[in-house]
Structure 1
């Protein structure tokens, strides 16, 4: 199924585009970054708030936010001495929903196999 609002991708994909796509997957392929994005899904937050939510160190959270920021996935704004992070590219959640749906289907299929084998 193709979304009619999504831009059409050339086929075969040019090498430069393949690299950009691979970079995006590498950026979000880190569990801590997925946790941070999940928390930011409910609204902007400071590093301190994200540290409390994830249980990670401030240094670790800042490092991962920097990677997400460099990739254009999150944005930041400064208010006094605090920096607030928010999701800048909401399309990232569509990707996560697609992956989660796929994982749910795989788990359901595996469960059906195991239930059938136990009969």
Structure 2
């Protein structure tokens, strides 16, 4: 379904909120790790070489926003990506950056010839 144009203000606010949620480097690192599958706080803490409190704080924000799901497994809580659209968004951003870097390298290479 196409988005209305111009975007109504409530939609603008919701989109901006989603960007604020994922626009934190540690949260992007968490999402990148979770592309490989679900993980516990302890696994994420070790993988990201940061504190348990830091990981838990960011997991809470991502979970509250509906981006992550969580489930209990015994005494552990496993987190997984619930909203795959954030991965598609990351792919699009990375693709855009690759094109920008490629264009810049071409410009710089041409200037040096």
- 1:106 corresponds to which residue? 100
SS of aligned partner of 1:76: strand
CA distance in 2, matches of 1:102, 1:56: 29
- 1:77 corresponds to which residue? 71
Structure 2, gaps ≥5 residues long: none
Alignment TM-score, normalising by the size of structure 2: 0.98
**Equivalent of residue 34 in structure 1, options 28, 43, 50:** 28
SS of aligned partner of 2:70: strand
Give the RMSD, CA atoms, in angstroms.
Answer: 0.6
Give runs of aligned pairs for residues 61-76 of structure 1, distance below 5 A.
Answer: 61-76=55-70
SS of aligned partner of 1:37: helix
CA distance in 2, matches of 1:69, 1:16: 22
CA distance in 2, matches of 1:114, 1:83: 49
Offset of 1:56 from its aligned partner?
1.0
Q: Any idea what the Cα deviations from partners look like across 1:8-46, whole Å, max 9, x if unmatched?
A: 101110111000000010111101000000000110000
**Equivalent of residue 80 in structure 2, options 61, 80, 86:** 86
CA distance in 1, matches of 2:8, 2:93: 24
Alignment TM-score, normalising by the size of structure 1: 0.93
Misfit runs of 4+, over 2 Å: none
